[in-house]
Structure 1
Amino acid sequence: MKIDECIGGNIRKYRTAYNMTLKELAERIHKSISTVSKYEKGTISLDMPTFAEIARIFQVSPAMLLQSADELPDINNTYVQSAEVLYMYTYDSPKKCIVQSIIGRYPSVEQNHAYKVNLFNDVHDTKNPGNCGGLYTGDCTKKGFIETYILHNQIAELEYVLISCVDNLVNPYQQLGLISGLSNYTMFPVTFKTIISSIEITNKDVLEEELQFSKDDFKAMKRNQCLTILNSR
């Protein structure tokens, strides 16, 4: 089933459960009845603000609008229902600003070190992560001080992201990592730094310094012909 059809079917399911008409939902999200009907049929894609608003109206996690019927039993039986919340930070060089994202991890009850993951990218309000710039879902494994995420963009079907992290030996609440995926600006493959933390980081100056590539990073890159992380502060 295509992602638009899956989302549309879930919107129709929740709208019906709420005894809400197409007209009522259309009025609440400021769209035409025809547009909402096309959403439910999966013939057009939702933009992220509308997607997040519909999830808020139905009082469900945005991830619930993405689950197909055959996936739900596996999720419910295999993973705990309460998510561990992590904060992820990257640096947007063109805009010269820190990008904050929220990771929700659901530990497996059957397999150690395994998680289901929702990544709400570019979140402006951490208490409302559904209103974000992009939603990724996938899996995570953690063994020792190493952690790996493999995530799929739920709006752009062809985009996958790999996040490789190691524990920060100085700060036990943080992980240092590299994100590999496609650039939103060029649509070419890119890799950039990230910090994932179990607590929210408010010192933007420290974040900006640690997330930008340093002269030592570039020297090591030239010497080894690979991109790696040197700092563990």
Structure 2
Amino acid sequence: MKEVSIHVGQRIRLYRKTKNLTIETFAGMIHKSKATVSKYENGDISIDIETLFTIAQALGVPVNQLIDYEEIGEEKGEKGEIIKHNLSKSKYYMYFYDGRRSRIARNVIEVQDGGEDSGVFSANMYASLEDLSNYYQCKLLYHGTMRKGDTFINFNFENQNNKVERMFMYAINSFNNGGRMEGLCCCLSTQPILPACFKFLMVSDILEETDDLKEKLKVSKEDIRLLKKMNMFVVSDHA
């Protein structure tokens, strides 16, 4: 299946770029030529298991993060069109307002199915995206877990380029309420590097980035009132 080789190659390129490694530097680390690495990343040639583990070690990631191939299924829509969907992963779109740049920040979270028994799922977050349809071109990549309960849901992520940074997201589990979930995210901000906490909105479908959405993501007067009253930053389930 060439699709598997293409997927693995995309993952290798993603993690290599996240580590700010050139093809030449990375090729030297795994004792391969630049041409061979390029063929790996383009999915032109398959990778033997020993080399795959060598690549994972050089990138500082578990090998399963390179081989999490997405099985794609097809079904007919209401108008007879073919709709492709992922059989092994769930995808969510996460938005927050970046006041430093005065714009909505776009992110994609992928959750690997298979943790129903324990309630713990493997997850990736592709952060600071320009194009939601091409999330492998992310500026930051996080890997971690999602823990899902009846009432609350949380994500615990680690920055794949800076292991010092952890991101923790907590929210009311309200995907059954219109497919929207509002919560708080705690992490390290950049420029300046400081501990930070902000509101986010997570949805199962891409949102139109309107002024109303921007206002919903900003700190509101009600948020400030509750902050002063309770001496803590909280959000309620009013997404």
TM-score by length of 1: 0.69
Alignment partner, residue 152 of structure 1: 158
Match runs of 1:110-129 below 5 Å: 111-129=117-135
C-alpha distance in structure 2 between counterparts of 1:164 and 1:38, whole Å: 38
Alignment partner, residue 133 of structure 1: 139
- State whether residues 108 and 127 of structure 2, in contact with CA within 8 Å, keep that contact through their aligned partners in structure 1: yes
Counterpart of 1:132 in structure 2: which amino acid? C
Instruction: Tell me how large the CA RMSD over aligned residues is.
Output: 3.6
Q: Structure 1 stretches of 5 or more lacking a match? A: 1-12, 16-24, 44-52
C-alpha distance in structure 2 between counterparts of 1:127 and 1:196, whole Å: 16
- State whether residues 180 and 192 of structure 1, in contact with CA within 8 Å, keep that contact through their aligned partners in structure 2: yes
- State whether residues 107 and 114 of structure 1, in contact with CA within 8 Å, keep that contact through their aligned partners in structure 2: no
Among the aligned pairs, what percent are the same residue?
Answer: 21
* Per-residue CA distance 1:189-216 (angstroms, 9 max, x = gap): 0000000101111142222111111111
Counterpart pick for 1:68 among 43, 46, 62: 62
Alignment partner, residue 37 of structure 1: 24
- State whether residues 168 and 232 of structure 1, in contact with CA within 8 Å, keep that contact through their aligned partners in structure 2: no
Match runs of 1:204-219 below 5 Å: 204-219=210-225
Aligned residue pairs total 188
Q: Quote the offset at 1:148 in angstroms.
A: 0.6
- State whether residues 9 and 42 of structure 2, in contact with CA within 8 Å, keep that contact through their aligned partners in structure 1: no
Partner of 1:127, secondary structure, is helix
Match runs of 1:134-213 below 5 Å: 134-168=140-174, 171-213=177-219
Task: Tell me if 1:232 matches 2:238.
Answer: yes
Counterpart of 1:220 in structure 2: which amino acid? L
Q: Structure 2 stretches of 5 or more lacking a match? A: 1-7, 31-37, 45-55, 70-85
C-alpha distance in structure 1 between counterparts of 2:219 and 2:195, whole Å: 17
Change (3 A) 1:14 1:128: closer
Partner of 1:229, secondary structure, is coil
Counterpart of 1:144 in structure 2: which amino acid? D
Q: Quote the offset at 1:73 in angstroms.
A: 11
Change (3 A) 1:206 1:55: farther
Q: Quote the offset at 1:54 in angstroms.
A: 9.4
Q: Quote the offset at 1:133 in angstroms.
A: 1.5
Counterpart of 1:213 in structure 2: which amino acid? V
Partner of 1:228, secondary structure, is coil
C-alpha distance in structure 1 between counterparts of 2:144 and 2:39, whole Å: 22
